[in-house]
Structure 1
Amino acid sequence: MKLIDSILKHLFSRFLARRRASGLFRRTAMPDAANFPRGATSIFDAITRERRRVASDDIAAALIRLESDMKGLSADEAEARQEKFGFNEIEHEKPLPWWRHLWQCYKNPFNLLLSLLALISLLTEDMAAAMVIATMVVLSTLIRFIQEARSNRAAEALKAMVSNTATVIRRGASPAKQMGIPIRELVPGDLIALSAGDMIPADCRLLAAKDLFVSQAAMTGESLPVEKFPDISQPFNAIFDAPNLLFMGTNVISGSATALVVATGNHSYFGALSVRVTSTGRVETAFQSGVNSVSWLLIRFALVMVPVVLAINGFTKGDWMEAFLFALSVAVGLTPEMLPMIVTSTLAKGAVKLSKQKVIVKHLDAIQNFGAMDVLCTDKTGTLTQDKIVLERHTDAFGEPSDEVLRYAYLNSYYQTGLKNLLDRAVLEHAELQTHDDRKVDEIPFDFNRRRMSVVVSEREDQHTLVCKGAVEEILSVCTGIRHDDEDVELTPELLKNVRALTQELNSQGLRVVAVAIKVMAKPQSNYSVKDEAGLTLLGYIAFLDPPKESAAPAISALEKHGVAVKVLTGDSELIAAHVCAQVGLERHGILLGGQVETMNDAQLAQAAQDYQVFARLTPHHKERIVRALRGNGHVVGFMGDGINDAPALRAADIGISVDSGVDISKEAADIILLEKSLMVLEAGVMEGRKTFSNMLKYIRMTASSNFGNVFSVLVASAFLPFLPMLPLQLLMQNLLYDISQIAIPFDDVDDELVAKPLRWNPGDIGRFMVFFGPISSIFDILTYLLMWFVFSANNVAAQTLFQSGWFVVGLLTQTLIVHMIRTPKLPFIQSRAAWPLLLMTGLIMLIGVCLPMSPLAGYFKLQPLPGSYFPWLVAILLGYAALTTLLKRIYIRKFGWQ
């Protein structure tokens, strides 16, 4: 069944993907509410009213309404309608052209600022700075572009490349005949023939049906298939409950039918939903808003500090051009130009790691959103459950387990000649019953009036047994007896009341109940009919369930342990939802129904979304409103779904999660596609997202605090020194070496306690961290000034090279040492050690910093060798810096926490 379901969904995916494959496809206009009945408040209300009208028509009236007949349309009529209504295609989100995708990867506040700094550096003939900055921007943009393009190609490759045709009845010179045509050529008024395995290609009204079961899970979330038939006598509430309507995007599970096409393309319910999804822009996610807020915090800081540096140096030194170049260098040093590259490479590393766990990341930002997510909304069918019907119970009429009931149910399913539905297949999986001595005598087929079917079997020639299986009430209507403790007794009103109470109890547990009854024929005969279905003895029931996945309960427990609340949003009934949630250990305090959501305003829904964990009988719009309400409450929301009805909520969430077997529209709306529909994969994604965020936060904190300290030190030096404390080229070189040491941060380890809870951007915390830890380095910078001025007599313009060399080494080593000091709240190197790539890279940069003034390149950077007596002072400064940072780190943690 999984293979069949996958094929069906891929068939439908291909239908949606066809537009991309051909430039000849024409998009039909979104149905205008003005063309629908007065009083319709939305497109969906209008479509619902139109479908209700068709559903309430008898067959003749429906044909007249669509200007068709039982012989179908002629080729000329079909062509004319195609001119009027357009092709049977839905709204589709077009892939971005490569140049627009490249622009999307490039545009963010930091890249724009860095590009401006690179341009200014180029105009001032500072080629080194221009090349370094430009390289950072290009690398970060290309890494994101290549990774996302690769993921999008993988997502596209998931769509099966198979042809799609519909069997249509067309009227011609000869009598009406069936013929296959491309689905896109269907028009309203066409008659189509459907059989098991077919995708329903448009909204249709049934004209004839035999044993027709349709899966509407993609639309409604119902796990069990529903019976459909042309009869209009049965009342219905929700439009999807209409017994004679079929909807685009659903599948025929069993049976056959002839149907009248009512609406195609964007005029179908699915088409209107697709238009809504593709016309709605993606909301700014928590990651995007967080990065932008941090970016602007640092940019505003730079815009304040750089003019101050320029003014102080211009007035005190008198050389405004040199002051401008120095201020520009400070701007470059103050701006964490590696941020875009660190963020992108960290996200890309996370995407590659998740790909090994069969997770395709379409948008890199989704990795961090995984880590920030504190609410996961998920559908039920196929996510919490196996998306497979199983025989859960077989009991006698009093609720006790009964092998006899199972045996007779098996005989009924085994010998029936009609198309076997999912319930029959679940019964037939009991292979231990395949060996039996009974032979089939006759069969009384199923029909929708009786809602039951019977087979007559014989174990010996002189005795026939009629075995009847069907809906509970229909079986009870032909029963006069009931089996109790191997004895047949009269079915009294009191026993009948007990029977109904028991079946209602089973229904309340989310089980679909089928009754089994028998009749031993007193006079065996060769042919039997419906009139023989009388005076039966009720044996008991078989009950079916879409069982929960084995991984669901531990996954939910793990997610909740990590601070992620799980909420179930389903279109299925509240009884089934309640039972499944109980089985997977999901606590619930009542269930909110779609009808109640409909009556709530936004404020009321915001409170209800917070209070409830399970929501049932939801429409697509309800799901979207709940997700938006949760986001409005300050949550970072993930949504997992694979159906048509999930697409709006996927687009509205911070992180949309779909599966490769989901319909095309859900995969388009998603940020992440799972190749395995398992919540355990999500738990791994959450932890990977938090590690990714933690490593990004390390870089921002390290760079922001050290850069702030450097600028503060520059301000002090500029005010009192007769020369620049460091030349622009030296400052840029120091900054470049420090940035290179950060390249290994994406590969660093993360302490377990740092990823125990959801993580999100907090610009206020980053600003506080920067101001708290930045001045620590300034203390030791000022001590270095005093050391070089008084101890090594670098106190005049002629000795400025020695002064600058001494501060260059101290500044670079303290900057690099801070990487290890504040990458963890624990004691560095003892309680928490960095990963070996980071240890190796920072150690190498510190070695280069010490050796550069003594290397052949020293003259180019206007540095000079330092005396041997300098190095004991250097060790003392570094040890003092590490000790003071550790002490203040503990104070900071006690007062503010770590993150």
Structure 2
Amino acid sequence: MKNVLKSFFESFLRSRHMLHHFERWQTLLSAKPSSVGSAAMPPEIAKALAAASHTDAGEVLVRMNSSSQGLTEAHALALRKRLGSNEVRHEQPLPWWNHLWQCYRNPFNLLLTVLALVSYITEDTKATVVIGSMVLLSTVLRFLQESRSNKAADRLKAMVSNTSTVLRPTPGEKAGRAGDSGFDLAHAGTQRIEVPMRDLVPGDVIALSAGDMIPADARLLSAKDLFISQSALTGESMPVEKFAATAADHQAGVLERDNLLFMGTNVISGTATAVIVHTGARTFFGALAQRVSATDRGTTAFQAGINRVSWLLIRFMLVMAPLVLVINGVTKGNWWEAALFALSIAVGLTPEMLPMIVTATLAKGAVVMSRRKVIVKRLEAIHNFGAMDVLCTDKTGTLTQDRIVLERHTNAWGEDSDHVLQQAYLNSFHQTGLKNLLDKAVLSHAEVQLDTQLQTSWRKVDEVPFDFSRRRMSVVVAHGDDEHLLICKGALEEILSVCTSVERGAEVLALDTNVMTRIHRVASELNAQGLRVVAVASRTLHADARKPAYSVADESGLTLLGYVAFLDPPKESTVPALQALAAHGVAVKVLTGDNELVTRKVCGDVGIDAGRMVLGHEVERMNEAELRQVVEMRQVFAKLTPAHKERIVQALHANGHVVGFMGDGINDAPALRAADIGISVDGAVDVAKESADIILLEKSLMVLEQGVVEGRRTFANMLKYIKITASSNFGNVFSVLVASAFLPFLPMLPLHLLVQNLLYDVSQIAIPFDNVDEEFLKTPQRWNPADLGRFMVFFGPISSVFDILTYTVMWFVFAANSVEHQTLFQSGWFIEGLLSQTLIVHLIRTRRIPFLQSRAAWPLLAMGVAIAAIGIWLPMGPLAHYFKLQALPLTYFPWLVLMLVGYATLTQAVKGWYARRYGWQ
């Protein structure tokens, strides 16, 4: 069965994102990094990376035919044409012939093929043609649908592209030699451009900052407080600091080299430039991809659900088919005919259209969601989207407009201060790390309010980049040849931790208890107004303290200057979106790194009752059992670190929830990976988009709510096929058992069963396009195999009641009660069986009264009418003898109508009772 599921899903699971592949490879990388470097990587690749590591940076550039200004566009284009795209091989689509084989290769089709061969050997040409048609129909439909799905998925993925910042010589300027200007990004002959990651080539010089994905294997040229998360490769949770210096230890493993970067890892903090050494399949990641391409993928919740349902149907088939064989063999004495009939029953019980139905339904859902600005990176994520019952989301940009404006710039006493704005502007202008919306708001406001020559009168000396443990960043600037000025901005508590004094006009006061109380009161008043407060501090470094480079240790002895306060107003769509999500059974929990005052104000504005808010330091102290209780009771969590967010998501998942997490920053990446469904936006940092399963082209909870509804609609149509097929098949087999025990002939020939099954399968093709009742969309939906088994037992025998009535009518009313008249009997049951199967589609697809309160989509209605017409025409038309059927007297059809009406009435009655007692999924 694993092979069935593997072939079933492998065509569209190729789109799974890079980071999930790394998680599966943890077992391959359980050894020490040094052993991994030699064992997992081809020797020639490891040798080239090791050579780059212990070679001077300038010499590496020379060997790569590059320079500190990067490659020219023409040179990069020529290399791209020769070397191909920067993509790993396992992400390439299968050749059409291989895809066709994968569509055919499952036990369902193999069983049909065996039966076709047996029919051919026994010279039963008609059965051979019919069974062959079933195999061909199943394989070709799945091939065509999956091909369309893959193309649609590729088009959707192309809408969400990850880019890298690449250095290029400015137009008209010749690229310099490797070392002409060191590795200064501000060099006059260098420009920075954004290039899709797939277009990178060896020799490209890339600029990196916090939040960036490493797009290829590279050698560092320069680095400033650079910390890289390599957990996806090594399993080590702590970030690793990297340096540009030439490696001295030639014996260290490849992953232990401090000056090498690897595809798929990501920048936690700091800035750097690096030259790409290997791309695509020649990267460390690409080498691993070749090793694991033949291994099974990890089983997701969606696959596990399909697995359980499929095994339920197969176990049923393995029990019923032998039972039919024994009963018919004993009662009829013809074991060969009984064996063929039992195989036909096995075929009838086989859900051979399940792969095609699921693929078509998921693909249609993905396309519909794309029209609603929701891009699905993994098709199976649609199921989790519909099953989601808890959504964890950040505050900024989700509940709010993500349109930050600088409202106030004050000193520590709350008095307006242009000096604070000037210092904040210099800090934001000169930093080269992760520029967020706050920096952009400072720059926009200051350019209007301040002297435009401010930026040119100060030159940058160095910077200490932002990271999420310090929650601050600093730049060092100089005015001419005067002393250096270190300007630091960040979260208030983190800034105060490195301050010893506070400025008020021309005075500088010590930070005593009274002053600290006043500072906190002013900040709290600003927070209470819904303003986000960022503190600004500085320190003058005189000649004896001046350095060519600065570090975190220099962030000490600062003077607090004041605050810049920002406003991010709530979105108008937030309140109705939250109400819509609540109406659809999705609880929204706010997980933010912001302080509790701002968070409470914003939550109150959008109608979220923050209640007793849980703060990050409280989460830190809780054990797992305590946290699992708290996450159920509380809705808003503030002042969280990335690790806190991840723990909260894991606790909700451990409580049995299907958890979605929506985030767009590097601090959200751990929680995105931990969630059942990671949701990000097109404007997110690279690592967030790579971690997500679904990308929103518009950062709005209303768009998300529409995606949830479409996910449930998709799941509903998949579930319809399984419920309809399971109950119908159970009823047919039960009827066959009764007939086999009491009739002197077979109730239907194997050929009849196969034709009936073929026609029924064709009628199901339109299910992915069916309508779904509104009540089904209001609550989260999950796989429930136990409910499916109960559903089969209750609804399958209903059809058997009317099958047995058909037997009685054919036996007593139309005298089809001997072997000589078995064709008439079989023709009567053939029509009744096919029409009842077609009718059950409309009876079971809804909890309501079919055709009146709930009407199927026109493709399903049209397909049902067409199949019913064909089913009646076959015995009544000129081909009846070919299928060993015969025309029925016209008096048969009033009886047929009565039985179908009775079937519909009884089914509707049982449906109402069943729904009241067990619910209706």
SS in 2 for 1:544: strand
**Deviation of 1:320 (Å):** 1.3
Q: Hey, what's the Cα distance between the residues in 1 that align with 2:518 and 2:153?
A: 58
**Deviation of 1:792 (Å):** 0.9
Amino acid at match of 1:351: A
Q: 2:326 matched to 1:311?
A: yes
Q: Pick from 287, 297, 306: which aligns with 1:291?
A: 306
Q: 2:542 matched to 1:501?
A: no
Relative distance call for 1:93 and 1:385 in structure 2 (3 A) is: farther
Q: 2:706 matched to 1:684?
A: yes
Q: Please tell me whether the aligned partners of residues 592 and 612 of structure 1 are also in contact (alpha carbons under 8 angstroms).
A: no
Q: Which moved more, 1:679-688 or 1:121-130?
A: 121-130
SS in 2 for 1:164: strand
SS in 1 for 2:678: strand
Q: Please tell me whether the aligned partners of residues 816 and 825 of structure 2 are also in contact (alpha carbons under 8 angstroms).
A: yes
Aligned residue in 2 for 1:242: none
**Deviation of 1:166 (Å):** 8.8
Q: 2:103 matched to 1:119?
A: no
Relative distance call for 1:31 and 1:552 in structure 2 (3 A) is: farther
Q: Hey, what's the Cα distance between the residues in 2 that align with 1:195 and 1:341?
A: 44
Q: Please tell me whether the aligned partners of residues 444 and 453 of structure 1 are also in contact (alpha carbons under 8 angstroms).
A: no
Q: Please tell me whether the aligned partners of residues 827 and 886 of structure 1 are also in contact (alpha carbons under 8 angstroms).
A: yes
Q: Please tell me whether the aligned partners of residues 663 and 672 of structure 2 are also in contact (alpha carbons under 8 angstroms).
A: yes
Q: Pick from 879, 884, 887: which aligns with 1:865?
A: 887
Q: Please tell me whether the aligned partners of residues 620 and 646 of structure 1 are also in contact (alpha carbons under 8 angstroms).
A: yes
Q: Please tell me whether the aligned partners of residues 209 and 269 of structure 2 are also in contact (alpha carbons under 8 angstroms).
A: yes
Q: Hey, what's the Cα distance between the residues in 1 that align with 2:835 and 2:211?
A: 68
Q: Hey, what's the Cα distance between the residues in 2 that align with 1:868 and 1:608?
A: 70
Aligned residue in 2 for 1:841: 863
Q: 2:708 matched to 1:725?
A: no
Q: Hey, what's the Cα distance between the residues in 2 that align with 1:429 and 1:207?
A: 29
SS in 2 for 1:351: helix
Q: Hey, what's the Cα distance between the residues in 2 that align with 1:700 and 1:638?
A: 26
**Deviation of 1:162 (Å):** 6.9
SS in 1 for 2:391: strand
**Deviation of 1:879 (Å):** 1.6
**Cα deviation per residue 1:420-460 (whole Å; 9 max; x = unaligned)?**
98767536756997799x999x9899999999999xxxxxx
Aligned residue in 1 for 2:728: 706
**Deviation of 1:691 (Å):** 1.0
Q: Please tell me whether the aligned partners of residues 351 and 725 of structure 2 are also in contact (alpha carbons under 8 angstroms).
A: yes
Q: Hey, what's the Cα distance between the residues in 1 that align with 2:653 and 2:212?
A: 39
Q: Which moved more, 1:498-507 or 1:617-626?
A: 617-626
Q: Hey, what's the Cα distance between the residues in 1 that align with 2:667 and 2:427?
A: 35
Q: Give unpaired runs (5+ residues) of structure 1.
A: 1-15, 21-28, 37-42, 44-65, 83-90, 220-229, 231-245, 455-467, 483-490, 517-537
Q: Pick from 357, 364, 376: which aligns with 2:372?
A: 357
Q: Pick from 40, 51, 59: which aligns with 1:75?
A: 59
Aligned residue in 2 for 1:511: 532
**Deviation of 1:159 (Å):** 3.0
Aligned residue in 1 for 2:132: 130
**Cα deviation per residue 1:521-551 (whole Å; 9 max; x = unaligned)?**
xxxxxxxxxxxxxxxxx99965114555444
Q: Hey, what's the Cα distance between the residues in 2 that align with 1:428 and 1:169?
A: 32
Q: Hey, what's the Cα distance between the residues in 2 that align with 1:794 and 1:31?
A: 71
Q: Which moved more, 1:554-563 or 1:410-419?
A: 410-419
Aligned residue in 2 for 1:529: none
**Cα deviation per residue 1:288-345 (whole Å; 9 max; x = unaligned)?**
1111111111110111011011111111111111111111111111223222222221
Q: Hey, what's the Cα distance between the residues in 1 that align with 2:516 and 2:672?
A: 47
Aligned residue in 1 for 2:614: 591
Q: Pick from 811, 815, 834: which aligns with 2:837?
A: 815
Aligned residue in 1 for 2:828: 806
Q: 2:801 matched to 1:779?
A: yes
Q: Please tell me whether the aligned partners of residues 109 and 296 of structure 1 are also in contact (alpha carbons under 8 angstroms).
A: no
Q: Please tell me whether the aligned partners of residues 574 and 593 of structure 1 are also in contact (alpha carbons under 8 angstroms).
A: no
Q: 2:683 matched to 1:654?
A: no
**Deviation of 1:409 (Å):** 7.6
Q: Please tell me whether the aligned partners of residues 506 and 513 of structure 1 are also in contact (alpha carbons under 8 angstroms).
A: no
Relative distance call for 1:553 and 1:432 in structure 2 (3 A) is: farther
Amino acid at match of 1:788: M
Q: Hey, what's the Cα distance between the residues in 2 that align with 1:769 and 1:627?
A: 34
Q: Hey, what's the Cα distance between the residues in 2 that align with 1:705 and 1:282?
A: 31
**Deviation of 1:263 (Å):** 14
Q: Hey, what's the Cα distance between the residues in 1 that align with 2:110 and 2:667?
A: 43
**Deviation of 1:740 (Å):** 2.1
Aligned residue in 2 for 1:340: 355
Q: Which moved more, 1:423-432 or 1:688-697?
A: 423-432
SS in 2 for 1:377: strand
Q: Hey, what's the Cα distance between the residues in 2 that align with 1:867 and 1:886?
A: 30
Amino acid at match of 1:511: R
Relative distance call for 1:686 and 1:94 in structure 2 (3 A) is: farther
Relative distance call for 1:555 and 1:157 in structure 2 (3 A) is: closer
Amino acid at match of 2:383: Q
Q: Pick from 543, 546, 559: which aligns with 2:581?
A: 559
**Deviation of 1:116 (Å):** 2.5
**Deviation of 1:767 (Å):** 1.0
Aligned residue in 2 for 1:377: 392
Q: Hey, what's the Cα distance between the residues in 1 that align with 2:96 and 2:575?
A: 39
SS in 1 for 2:375: strand
Relative distance call for 1:644 and 1:346 in structure 2 (3 A) is: same
SS in 2 for 1:567: strand
Q: Hey, what's the Cα distance between the residues in 2 that align with 1:880 and 1:320?
A: 36
Q: Please tell me whether the aligned partners of residues 398 and 699 of structure 2 are also in contact (alpha carbons under 8 angstroms).
A: yes
**Deviation of 1:416 (Å):** 12
Q: Pick from 464, 474, 479: which aligns with 2:504?
A: 479
Relative distance call for 1:470 and 1:839 in structure 2 (3 A) is: closer
Relative distance call for 1:275 and 1:721 in structure 2 (3 A) is: closer
Aligned ranges 1:453-492 → 2 under 5 Å: 477-479=502-504
Amino acid at match of 1:512: V
Q: Please tell me whether the aligned partners of residues 312 and 785 of structure 2 are also in contact (alpha carbons under 8 angstroms).
A: yes
Larger Rg: 1
**Cα deviation per residue 1:387-432 (whole Å; 9 max; x = unaligned)?**
5532245789887xx9xx4889889989999759876753675699
Q: 2:345 matched to 1:324?
A: no
Aligned residue in 1 for 2:918: 896
Q: Please tell me whether the aligned partners of residues 784 and 810 of structure 1 are also in contact (alpha carbons under 8 angstroms).
A: yes
Aligned residue in 2 for 1:243: none
Q: Please tell me whether the aligned partners of residues 416 and 443 of structure 1 are also in contact (alpha carbons under 8 angstroms).
A: no
CA RMSD of aligned residues (A): 5.8
Q: Hey, what's the Cα distance between the residues in 2 that align with 1:392 and 1:218?
A: 39
Q: Hey, what's the Cα distance between the residues in 2 that align with 1:150 and 1:76?
A: 41
**Deviation of 1:757 (Å):** 0.2
Q: Hey, what's the Cα distance between the residues in 1 that align with 2:865 and 2:320?
A: 31
Q: Hey, what's the Cα distance between the residues in 1 that align with 2:152 and 2:689?
A: 16
Amino acid at match of 1:165: L
Q: Please tell me whether the aligned partners of residues 510 and 580 of structure 1 are also in contact (alpha carbons under 8 angstroms).
A: no
Q: 2:316 matched to 1:301?
A: yes
Q: Hey, what's the Cα distance between the residues in 2 that align with 1:109 and 1:592?
A: 55
Relative distance call for 1:616 and 1:501 in structure 2 (3 A) is: closer
Q: How many residues end up aligned between the 2 structures?
A: 756
Aligned residue in 2 for 1:6: none
**Cα deviation per residue 1:173-197 (whole Å; 9 max; x = unaligned)?**
x89686879997799xxxx999999
SS in 2 for 1:656: strand
Q: Which moved more, 1:815-824 or 1:155-164?
A: 155-164
Q: Hey, what's the Cα distance between the residues in 2 that align with 1:799 and 1:582?
A: 79
Q: 2:406 matched to 1:391?
A: yes
Relative distance call for 1:363 and 1:122 in structure 2 (3 A) is: farther
**Deviation of 1:206 (Å):** 9.7
Q: Hey, what's the Cα distance between the residues in 2 that align with 1:392 and 1:171?
A: 46
SS in 1 for 2:817: coil
Q: Hey, what's the Cα distance between the residues in 1 that align with 2:888 and 2:62?
A: 90
